[in-house]
A and B are shown apart, each in its own frame.
Chain A
Amino acid sequence: MFDYVSFLQNLSNGVLIGGVYALIGVGLTLVFGVMKIINFAHGDFVILGMYCAVLLNSLLGWDPYLSLLVAMPLGFLTGALLQRLVLSRLMEAPPESSLLVTLGLALVIGNILLLTFGAEPKSVNVSYASSTVSLGEVSFSMILLLAGLATMVVIAGLYTVLNHTELGRAIRATADNRLGAELVGINTRWIEAVVFGIGMALAVTAGVVLIPLLFATPTFSGAIFTLKAFVVTVLGGLGNIGAAIAGGLLLGVVEVMGASYLTSDYRDAYGLLVFLLILLLRPEGLFGKTVKRV
């Protein structure tokens, strides 16, 4: 007897969680697409978002979605500054340098958080923490639904900016052909700062949206999120945003389905195995074109 209710429930959970993974992955892939930087600290930006929400909640009682108003601009500014001051020096260096510097950055961010907030895991308890919305017999977690909604709004916003604004055109131009973009007068250094800022803002948003579900620990969780982000972007193809979204959804579904129908002990392994398979068989990702270097 096939349990349709559980199946639908699992599928929908996978999709919703995948949406958040997509949000994290999109930020990473955007940064890579434009600047060819692999940001190892991306997961720690997510954690920064979580702590932002925790702080605003404990000081002012704000709901996480309200703290987005503060967290997103803050994330953007911090990212842009980081890029201008630190990462711009790496543009000439081999790609592994960005990996290593951002690794160091991850350690720095994690430990600053540890010194500031202490080691105790923190979360935000919202009133709708375990509420569900039911569609027939299938119930959806309220938090996951809201997260999915937020993801859609943010990604739609990003899509609009990229495809219907001057800024977006400049970004796409820089990603495609940096030299060419400079030749037509685009200030690529400024664009890079903006893009990194956007990437960080996206990560921070994911953190804020996730905090009612999870706990923030300063040094441990960052690496987990970074790894998930990588899996997502590689699944979809580094530099390809639409594909990152698909990759996120795929990861979410694979994880949940694997955990439900095969054994949960190896839950994380399913995502990793698929990730490895894709890397080996189709390194440009499921949807990617081969990444060119300028």
Chain B
Amino acid sequence: MKKSIAVASMAPWLLAAPAVLADIDVGVINSLSGPFAAFGERYQAGMEVALEEINEGGGVRGEPLALSVQDDRSEATSALAAIESLNRQDVPLIMGSYASSITGPMAQLMTRQEIPLIVLGSADNSITKPGSPWVFRAKHNSTIVAESYFDYFDFLREQDDSLETVAMLYGNGAWPASLAEEGERLAEERGYEVVGNQSYDQGTSDFRPILNRFRSEEPDLLYVVAYAEDGVAIARQMREVNLNAKAVAIDTGAALPSFVDQVGDLAEYVATVVSWSKDVQYEGVEDLYERLKAKTGEEPTFYEAEGYLALRVAADALERAESLERNDVRDALAETDLDTPVTHVAFESFDGFQGQNPIRSLVLQIQDGEHVTVFPTDLAAEDVRYPAPVWDER
């Protein structure tokens, strides 16, 4: 928080900087205040770690790289004003933001103004489907995430073919809703019976009625998409109403360390999909983990990693581009083929998506209070623990 004030107050100086130091400025539009600030802070931290790494390695094209950060205040109109402001600074590209309600309008405007956009955190399908030649996303989208969950379920089904029924619970935000939509489609495609399908309004804290209804259906699998607060409440209330399932997946909320802190033992066996974890089998992961941890002072999550990833992609493209003209930067981005400790990055068009990195998302399971990568098996650190024992037997 204090860091972001520092960075935001650096902005006026960065305006002066190009003339004096010939820095290369990358535009960033991030949610530093408002309801999304919690996520914005994490992205900021990840970007700063990448920034240090890049500048220690000599910067980009021989010049130091700098971030020109603007706050979108968690609202679309501010983000659009910020684009104008960065445009006046002639930045070669812009990275941003967290929420699809902000990134969506940004993508539309930047496509028309022909400024390359590297999506920072928004994972909604609609941003890159159909997307545009100017929008690039290195992190996953709803389809990829939902497929990861169902690949995981299929993997479990190979070991136990009695797995048939799934109950779905999700918030009514854009992200949970899109994951739920994809989930429904995949459940049908892959032969799972959906025995419960319920959305709830963000801000709900009492899930007992819904969980009670699920319990009477006795689902084999639970597919939950919930943010931090709801996720904790759901986990606790599952125990309370004695809702058992052989495998439980909770997206978003369960990926944060605070989930384990708040919920304790109840978190065991819960699976969640992330774009990065600290024990995934990529090169350089441990080092990145250490640096992210040092920057934030606490356990890093995939949010910081995504911030790091976005800036690495930007720097790589700027390095390779013929010039800093936006068209050339865009072409360079389209040809990206980069290995990072977060994931491999290449932007492709497939299934109606454009400019999307077909990232391999990871399934983490909480084992002994830690998030452990368990799937896909070639990237896993440990084996899956299956099935989850009923509450009374834990």
A260 and chain B: residue at smallest CB distance = B209
Asked if A265 meets B232 with Cβ closer than 8 Å, knowing A118-B38, A213-B205, the reply is no
Which of B206, B208, B258: most chain A CB closer than 10 A? B206
Q: Complex: how many Å from CA A255 to CA B99?
A: 29
**B38 and A121: CB pair below 8 A?**
yes
The minimal Cβ–Cβ distance linking A102 to chain B, given in whole angstroms, is 21
Chain B 188-223 interface mask (CB, 8 Å, partner A; 1/0):
000000000011110111101110110010000000
Chain A 210-244 interface mask (CB, 8 Å, partner B; 1/0):
00011101011100100000000000000000000
Instruction: Please indicate the chain B residues that have their CB under 8 angstroms from the CB of A123 in the complex.
Output: 229, 232, 262
**B37 and A119: CB pair below 8 A?**
yes
Q: Complex: how many Å from CA A132 to CA B242?
A: 10
Instruction: Please indicate the chain A residues that have their CB under 8 angstroms from the CB of B33 in the complex.
Output: 114
Q: Complex: how many Å from CA A130 to CA B240?
A: 6
A264 contacts which of B37, B41, B199, B262 (Cβ < 8 Å)? Answer: B199
Asked if A264 meets B1 with Cβ closer than 8 Å, knowing A119-B37, A213-B233, the reply is no
**A6 and B216: CB pair below 8 A?**
yes
* Interface: B34 (CB within 8 A): yes
Chain B 235-266 interface mask (CB, 8 Å, partner A; 1/0):
01101111000000000000000100111101
Interface size class of B (residues with CB under 8 A): 35 or more
**A264 and B209: CB pair below 8 A?**
yes
Instruction: Please indicate the chain B residues that have their CB under 8 angstroms from the CB of A256 in the complex.
Output: 206, 208-209
* Interface: A92 (CB within 8 A): no
**A125 and B262: CB pair below 8 A?**
yes
Instruction: Please indicate the chain B residues that have their CB under 8 angstroms from the CB of A132 in the complex.
Output: 240
The minimal Cβ–Cβ distance linking A229 to chain B, given in whole angstroms, is 14
Interface residue ranges of B16-55 to A (CB < 8 Å): 33-38, 40-41
Which of A10, A123, A219: most chain B CB closer than 10 A? A123
Asked if A259 meets B210 with Cβ closer than 8 Å, knowing A118-B38, A265-B199, the reply is yes
**B1 and A118: CB pair below 8 A?**
yes
**B206 and A13: CB pair below 8 A?**
yes
**A139 and B210: CB pair below 8 A?**
no
Interface residue ranges of A159-183 to B (CB < 8 Å): none
Chain A 1-45 interface mask (CB, 8 Å, partner B; 1/0):
001001001100100010000000000000000000000000000
B38 and chain A: residue at smallest CB distance = A119
Interface residue ranges of A90-119 to B (CB < 8 Å): 114-115, 118-119
**A141 and B240: CB pair below 8 A?**
yes
* Interface: B87 (CB within 8 A): no
The minimal Cβ–Cβ distance linking A287 to chain B, given in whole angstroms, is 26
**A125 and B264: CB pair below 8 A?**
yes
Interface size class of A (residues with CB under 8 A): 35 or more
Q: Complex: how many Å from CA A183 to CA B258?
A: 57
**B203 and A221: CB pair below 8 A?**
yes
Q: Complex: how many Å from CA A217 to CA B239?
A: 24
The minimal Cβ–Cβ distance linking A105 to chain B, given in whole angstroms, is 19
Q: Complex: how many Å from CA A260 to CA B1?
A: 41
**B204 and A267: CB pair below 8 A?**
yes
A10 contacts which of B36, B172, B203, B209 (Cβ < 8 Å)? Answer: B209
Asked if A214 meets B208 with Cβ closer than 8 Å, knowing A119-B41, A121-B38, A123-B229, the reply is no
Instruction: Please indicate the chain B residues that have their CB under 8 angstroms from the CB of A139 in the complex.
Output: 240-242
Chain A 249-282 interface mask (CB, 8 Å, partner B; 1/0):
0000001100110001111100000000000000
Instruction: Please indicate the chain B residues that have their CB under 8 angstroms from the CB of A219 in the complex.
Output: 34-35
* Interface: A156 (CB within 8 A): no
Instruction: Please indicate the chain A residues that have their CB under 8 angstroms from the CB of B201 in the complex.
Output: 265-268
B258 contacts which of A120, A141, A213, A264 (Cβ < 8 Å)? Answer: A120
Q: Complex: how many Å from CA A255 to CA B34?
A: 28
The minimal Cβ–Cβ distance linking A49 to chain B, given in whole angstroms, is 16
Q: A10-B209, A220-B203, A259-B210 are known; give 20 further A-B pairs, CB within 8 A.
A: A3-B216, A9-B208, A10-B208, A114-B33, A118-B37, A120-B38, A120-B258, A121-B38, A123-B229, A125-B263, A130-B236, A130-B237, A130-B266, A139-B241, A213-B233, A224-B203, A259-B209, A264-B204, A265-B198, A267-B201
Q: Which residues of B contact A (CB under 8 A)?
A: 1, 33-38, 40-41, 172, 198-201, 203-206, 208-210, 212-213, 216, 228-229, 232-233, 236-237, 239-242, 258, 261-264, 266
Q: Which residues of A contact B (CB under 8 A)?
A: 3, 6, 9-10, 13, 17, 114-115, 118-121, 123, 125, 129-130, 132, 139, 141, 213-215, 217, 219-221, 224, 255-256, 259-260, 264-268
Task: Return the 4 tightest CB-CB contacts between A and B, nearest first.
Answer: A260-B209, A215-B229, A119-B37, A119-B38
